[in-house]
Amino acid sequence: MALLEIDGVTKTFGGVVAVRDVSMEVNQGSIVAVIGPNGAGKTSLFNVVTGFESPTSGTIRFDGADITGVEPWQVARRGLVRTFQTPVGFPALSVWENLMVAGTGPGEEGVLSALRGSWRSAEKETRRLAQSLLEDLDLWESRDEISQTCLQGT
């Protein structure tokens, strides 16, 4: 079974057809590229798949569940997320602090979990993942740099 199944998805905006009858399957562990010229509907397809737009027709299934027209935050909770072409972080925070914020998602229990102490294990896991990512990308030495400074260097 495919992890992501897109079946006959069409998205129109008024009389403009942005995505027409797209079908594809993406298996777990695979890398798939969607290519085409500007205006071909690539971004519209990603917006529909991740819930930022609802399809005009067709169905989308992720990990066996129908996610057609589901809100983006609900799609993200299932594990399907997207990035945007322009990365947006917190420019006044360090690289490390930005990763720590990224590791804290919507839907976490907040104050109530803090009262029970479960936030400590979540923070510990976020720290472990952030360190692992920075080490894997050979960026551990840059962890304390302010993000805006890092972005200006690229």
In tens, the pLDDT along 131-144 reads: 998 898 888 999 99
Q: Residue 90: inside a domain, yes or no? A: no
CA distance readout (Å), 110 to 15, 118, 129, 148: 44, 10, 20, 28
Q: pLDDT tens across 59-96, in order?
A: 999 999 999 999 998 998 888 988 776 666 788 888 88
Same domain, 100 and 135: yes
Same domain, 62 and 106: no
Same domain, 31 and 61: yes
* pTM of model > 0.75: no
CB 28 within 8 A of CB 80: no
Same domain, 13 and 48: yes
